[in-house]
Chains A and B, each alone.
Chain A
Amino acid sequence: DTGVSQNPRHKITKRGQNVTFRCDPISEHNRLYWYRQTLGQGPEFLTYFQNEAQLEKSRLLSDRFSAERPKGSFSTLEIQRTEQGDSAMYLCASSPGGGIGNTEAFFGQGTRLTVV
């Protein structure tokens, strides 16, 4: 297993455009998380999935943001009508789920979004 994979690694887009990021979690990991990280800050929770079900969305996730995990495997995060404030590193993480011993979250390398 190669770990959590995110694509693309970098994305530069013009304000107002839509962007979509993909995350491939570690296989057989039930839980998948999206976080956003800006310079000098820790990751901020956006949303997470248990298999294909989206269980929680942060209030940070405006209606321009949508995330899916259609078959309980890979996930996509789409941002519509991007704004300069959306510029950040978008991190995906997965964990096995099912008990305290399976809580460690493994992070992908992230997608760095720059909105110009």
Chain B
Amino acid sequence: GQNIDQPTEMTATEGAIVQINCTYQTSGFNGLFWYQQHAGEAPTFLSYNVLDGLEEKGRFSSFLSRSKGYSYLLLKELQMKDSASYLCAAHTNDYKLSFGAGTTVTVRA
């Protein structure tokens, strides 16, 4: 089966940096997705890592280490609107996404 682990909650101050870690154990691994989900809304795509290394996209960056089964999402210059749940999902070669339980990030003023 698939096993995706990420912290349940994180709190940070506006303007700060937060790093959300995700570890995974899957078979047929293709790549790692990060989605953002505001309460009551659909998940929206943030990033997809296939190769090892860091990919930067504005204030958000995502890192993958395939050998360690590890990824992180880095949120910089936090804004109040970044308060949301962040979902880590492993994409496998059967074309499915297996999600972690999500990390709820709360940004305080």
Contacts and interface: CB of A to CB of B under 8 A. Distances in A.
Interface in B21-47: 30-31, 33, 35, 41-45
B96 A48 contact: yes
A50 B30 CA distance: 18
A4 B95 CA distance: 18
Given A42-B89, A107-B42, A109-B41, A100 B31 contact: yes
Nearest to B103: A42
Interface in A91-116: 91, 93, 95, 97, 100, 103-110
Contact of B30 (A42, A97, A103): A103
Contacts of B94: 56
A108 B101 CA distance: 19
Interface string B93-104: 011111111100
Contact of B42 (A33, A42, A108): A108
A31 interface: yes
A104 B102 contact: no
Given A42-B89, A42-B100, A100-B31, A109 B48 contact: no
A48 B91 CA distance: 14
A21 B29 CA distance: 31
A44 interface: yes
A105 B48 CA distance: 11
B56 to A, nearest CB: 18
A22 B101 CA distance: 25
B87 interface: yes
A45 B42 contact: no
15 contacts: A4-B42, A31-B95, A33-B97, A42-B87, A42-B99, A45-B97, A95-B95, A100-B31, A100-B50, A103-B30, A103-B48, A103-B91, A104-B33, A105-B97, A107-B42
Interface of A: 4, 31, 33, 35, 40-45, 48, 50, 55-56, 91, 93, 95, 97, 100, 103-110
Give me the 5 closest cross-chain CB pairs, A-B, nearest first: A42-B99, A107-B42, A42-B102, A107-B43, A42-B101
